[in-house]
Structure 1
Amino acid sequence: MFKKLFKKKDSSVDLISPLTGNVVPLEDVPDQVFSQKMMGDGIAVQPTANLVVSPIDGEVVDVFKTKHAISLRGDNGAEILMHMGLETVELNGEGFDIKVKNGDKIKQGDSLAEIDVDGISNKGYKTITPIILVNGDDYELTNVSTEKEVKAGSDILFHLEGK
């Protein structure tokens, strides 16, 4: 009877791709903060479409004022940062149509944003999007995708396992 009360929450989850595009190892992202994993481990996607969906079930923790990044907390406790493009903070929200707000509950595949991939690229910004596990001390990233192309909302990028 008490086992159910004190049962440890399942902390493992598959993280699906939030974007349709080409998978890029984090080490190959042309920004040292990400490529040297200063913010955490993860993977990146070079988007070929504008839709951004939730990679996990959970909640929106923070939509950055400049709309270039969204942080999420999964139901399992994993904290994920999606940084849409590089140096895109300078755009002050231009090119980003955010569909969620802080505190929103989300499910895998729910629409989070649309990014104007072509418009942002035409302004000289890189649209590559790092997807970072921020609390890597609590979770291990495994089964990282070796696929070249992924589809938003369906293809798995990596598996998270609680430590």
Structure 2
Amino acid sequence: MLKKLFGLDKKEEKTMPEADGKDVVYAPLTGEIKPLSEVPDPTFSEKMMGDGIAIEPSQGTVVAPVDGEIMQIFPTNHAVGIRTVNGVEILIHIGLETVNMNGEGFTGKVKEGDKVNIGDPLVEFDMDLVKEKAASTITPIIVTNGDVVSDLQKEESGQATAKETTVMTIKTQG
């Protein structure tokens, strides 16, 4: 009824899905999928920030892995947080020790509060510059509020294509 009142058509309904307790997370980057245990930083490899996967990127574009809202984009554009329609919070941290680059080589495409759909550009970055100035290009994709998660299925190997390859399936509690 509300959709009829506000004139939302079928196409718009598809782009803003209803919360159903399950989120499919697509690859935010193209590259090689790795388990968090292979990330050479204990903050990620020991899951101090949460569970997830990592991707060793082959291209310098990060896209939205889910439909949701931008919760945070760091001033340096090296990391972005997204909340799904089911309330799952996902952090994409581009490379390791990239905060020390002070935003050099990173271009943010979104701001806090933006609504995004799978495949929308979030950040572009200069791969060569990150390889030169940071510890690694490996990019952790972390569920930071695991307390709302009842089941987390992860792909931890293989090749990922941005916005096409499923890397995680998350069921929320309740």
TM-score by length of 1: 0.91
Measured at CA, do residues 161 and 88 of structure 1 come closer, stay the same or move farther in structure 2, by a change above 3 Å?
Answer: same
Q: Is the 8 A contact 2:77 2:123 kept in 1?
A: no
Q: Is the 8 A contact 1:141 1:158 kept in 2?
A: no
Alpha-carbon distance, 1:13 to partner = 1.2
Which residue of the partner structure matches residue 84 of structure 2?
Answer: 74
Q: Is the 8 A contact 1:143 1:159 kept in 2?
A: yes
Alignment equivalent of 1:22, drawn from 22, 28, 32: 32
Answer 1 or 2: which has greater helix percent. Answer: 2
String of CA shifts for 1:88-131, please: whole Å, max 9, x gaps: 00000011111000100000111111111112102253110000
- 2:170 is aligned with 1:160: yes
- Structure 1 counterpart SS, 2:47: coil
Alignment equivalent of 1:49, drawn from 41, 59, 68: 59
Superposition RMSD in Å: 1.4
Structure 2: how far apart are the matches of 1:66 and 1:10?
34
Alpha-carbon distance, 1:144 to partner = 1.1
Work out the number of aligned pairs and report it. Answer: 156
Q: Is the 8 A contact 1:139 1:161 kept in 2?
A: yes
Alpha-carbon distance, 1:28 to partner = 0.9
| Unpaired runs of at least 5, structure 2 | 1-17
Provide the identity percentage. Answer: 46
String of CA shifts for 1:8-33, please: whole Å, max 9, x gaps: 94110110000000011001100000
Structure 2: how far apart are the matches of 1:139 and 1:107?
21
Structure 2: how far apart are the matches of 1:153 and 1:106?
12
Structure 1: how far apart are the matches of 2:134 and 2:91?
23
Which residue of the partner structure matches residue 5 of structure 1?
Answer: none
Measured at CA, do residues 25 and 103 of structure 1 come closer, stay the same or move farther in structure 2, by a change above 3 Å?
Answer: same
Alpha-carbon distance, 1:139 to partner = 1.0
Which residue of the partner structure matches residue 105 of structure 2?
Answer: 95
Runs of 4+ in 1 over 3 A off after TM superposition: none
Alignment equivalent of 1:116, drawn from 95, 117, 126: 126
Which residue of the partner structure matches residue 5 of structure 2?
Answer: none
| Unpaired runs of at least 5, structure 1 | 1-7
Alpha-carbon distance, 1:143 to partner = 2.8
Structure 1: how far apart are the matches of 2:121 and 2:156?
25
Q: Is the 8 A contact 1:42 1:141 kept in 2?
A: no
**Which letter maps to 1:66?**
T
Alignment equivalent of 2:72, drawn from 62, 75, 84: 62
- 2:22 is aligned with 1:12: yes
**Which letter maps to 2:53?**
I
Q: Is the 8 A contact 1:41 1:141 kept in 2?
A: no
